[in-house]
Structure 1
Amino acid sequence: MTMRRFGAVILAGGLSILLGGAAFAASGTSALPPPDPTAKNLTPYMIQLRAFDACLVTQSQLLGTTREAVHSPCSCYAKGTVNAMTKDEIQAFRETGYFNDSARAKGLGYIDQCKLKRPI
């Protein structure tokens, strides 16, 4: 469960991470965070921006480098992941504010493809 929550932070928690909400990866038995009401009307492009921002923050920390150093790989990850999402996955993101299991799996594929470090 911790792997799942941490993956959710990496893949979709742009706003959550930017607001310091990454702390929910602490316990293996707690639930995922509540739905994010600000995600309700996001376009795919706006979801891509959130994923990109979350990637910059998380990958720079994981790799111990600057955000500028991971700019291109994070752009690759965010564009690839959101472009690969189905309409149902986009709608699930709008309802929750984070990627569902199938979108998360696509995101992990793009983390590998774009040569980023897996958070798990």
Structure 2
Amino acid sequence: MPALARSLLAITFVAFSGAALAAGSSAPYAPDPGLRTDTPAQLTARIRRACSATQARIQNVSTGQVERGCGCYATRVMRSLTPPEVEAYRMTGVFNDTARGKAISAIDACRLQRPV
């Protein structure tokens, strides 16, 4: 998978969990422990919030203006993930290689901008 696509997904999915801050420091990244116990609906909400924050920033609009697209994105991503992909996300806080491809497809299908 191209480095651009990996960067895109990393930014989109770890923004909510604070990984972006950890990646900029010398502290090792630790995923939010809540990921392990969240229901599928809670995971979808996390993904939607991270998407909204990222899309609002890159489009220079309010989060409310991207809620519909990010709701589409979060729903599509969660529906497309296999149980092992969801488990990998729960353990690491980021999507694995196969899940990243599905996330990129969802970004495009929901007409969102790919972060650079």
Fold conserved between structures, TM > 0.5: yes
1:55 counterpart residue number: 51
CA displacement 1:72-94 (0-9 Å, x = unmatched)? 10000000001110000111111
Alpha-carbon offset, residue 52 of structure 1: 0.1
1:80 alignment counterpart: 76
1:9–1:22 Cα contact (<8 Å) kept: yes
Cα–Cα, structure 1 residues 24 and 119, in superposed 2: closer, same or farther, change >3 Å? farther
Contact 1:14 1:51 in 2 (8 A): no
1:22 corresponds to 2:17: no
Could you tell me how far apart the structure 1 residues matched to 2:111 and 2:66 are? Answer: 10
CA distance in 1, matches of 2:31, 2:21: 16
RMSD over aligned Cα atoms: 2.7
Which sections of structure 1, spanning at least 5 residues, go unmatched? none
* 2:11 alignment partner AA: V
Shift of 1:44: 1.6
2:14 is equivalent to residue 13 of structure 1? yes
TM-score (norm 2): 0.82
- SS of 1:16's equivalent in the other structure is coil
Report the TM-score, using the length of structure 1 for normalisation.
0.80
Paired-residue identity, %: 35
Structure 2: any 5+ residue segments left out of the alignment? none
SS at match of 2:16: helix
In structure 2, relative to structure 1, the CA distance for the partners of 1:113 and 1:16 (3 Å cut) is same
